[in-house]
Structure 1
Amino acid sequence: MTRRLVAKQNLNRNPIDVAFRFLTYRPRSESEVRRRLSRQFTMMQVDETIDKLQERGILDDSAFANFWCSNREQHRPRSKMMLNQELRSFGVSGTIAKEALNMIDDETSALNAGRRYGRRLSTADQQSFYKKMMNHLHRRGFGFLLTQKVARDIWNELSCPADSDIYGNTKEQQPKN
């Protein structure tokens, strides 16, 4: 056997090493780690490993939920409802998910998602802009009234930038008194 194969086999014999390796890619929920370890180890070994990781503060569902929500908010904004579903699918309890979601504001998230997508639609006419923007936001879990409001706000931002007047003239083009 090669040295690499022997090293890989030795790593997989210790559940704490497998858990550490699994946690190096990104923070994980207790349920994810438990599921991963249960493929290779007995339930007693899995329980001991989970307890050790929790005692050391390495495995914490609350910290994971906060990380997940802030990461999603920053990179791929979603509605509270959709984030709650994602957290629940990771095995995070409802109370922990609810606490983590308290820092999320649906309107701000929708605006962030819409602004990012709106740049791609800058050449679209108003009707297709509204349709595409609302569909985009709806796929991210936002409700109809919110998507309608955000689509209107972003259309106004893109069609009438902040440094222009209501006629679309920039400050350089505005008549001087």
Structure 2
Amino acid sequence: MARKGVPEDVREEVLGRFADVGLVDDAAFAQAWVESRHTGRGLARRALGHELRTRGVDADVVAEAVEAVDPEQEERTARELVAQRLPGTRRLDPTARTRRLTGVLARKGYPAGLAFRVVREALEAEGVQTAHLPDDIPYD
């Protein structure tokens, strides 16, 4: 409304009225956003929080919404993403496969430690040597 030139007092009144009748509910929006984007796009808590903050959602509301994503569910989602992409990397050498697969997870907001662990386990399940992967990356 500010970009359209609506005076601040009018904006406050309209938004206040919307909030009174339940049309503006950041917590409900954030929760729905997190559920939709985690399930649909496989985004991790870090990426979900970033998206909500860029949309102007309050930091406390963002924190509460992203905490709803269970760490075990986040790991399962990471494993599913790697499993989907793994077949397309079979012609590549192990280092390139690792780089591609961890890159997919990184772009979706997964911590480096989780990404490397999930990729290592997926490659080992295929019988690929993973000595080239670092062992000391902490789970962020």
Normalising by structure 1, report the TM-score: 0.60
Query: How far apart in 2 are the matches of 1:142 and 1:108?
Result: 12
Query: How far apart in 1 are the matches of 2:47 and 2:27?
Result: 18
Deviating above 3 A after TM superposition, structure 1's stretches of 4 or more consecutive aligned residues are: 153-157
> Does the C-alpha gap of structure 1 residues 38 and 116 become closer, same or farther in structure 2, counting only changes over 3 Å?
same
Tell me whether 1:151 sits opposite 2:116 in the alignment.
no
When the two structures are aligned, how many residues end up with a matched partner?
Answer: 123
Does the 8 Å CA contact 1:110/1:137 hold for their aligned counterparts? no
Does the 8 Å CA contact 2:44/2:108 hold for their aligned counterparts? yes
Tell me the amino acid that sits aligned with residue 9 of structure 2: M
Residue matched to 1:78: 43
Residue matched to 1:139: 107
Instruction: Give % identity.
Output: 24
Residue matched to 1:119: 84
Gaps of 5+ in 2: 128-140
Q: 1:75: how far off?
A: 1.1
Tell me whether 1:96 sits opposite 2:61 in the alignment.
yes
Higher RCO by CA contacts (8 Å cutoff, separation 6 or greater): 2
Q: 1:156: how far off?
A: 5.3
Tell me the amino acid that sits aligned with residue 138 of structure 1: A
> Does the C-alpha gap of structure 1 residues 44 and 123 become closer, same or farther in structure 2, counting only changes over 3 Å?
closer
Normalising by structure 2, report the TM-score: 0.74
Give the secondary structure class of the aligned counterpart of 1:53.
helix
The alignment yields a C-alpha RMSD, in angstroms, of 2.3
Query: How far apart in 2 are the matches of 1:124 and 1:112?
Result: 19
Larger radius of gyration: 1
Gaps of 5+ in 1: 1-36, 161-177
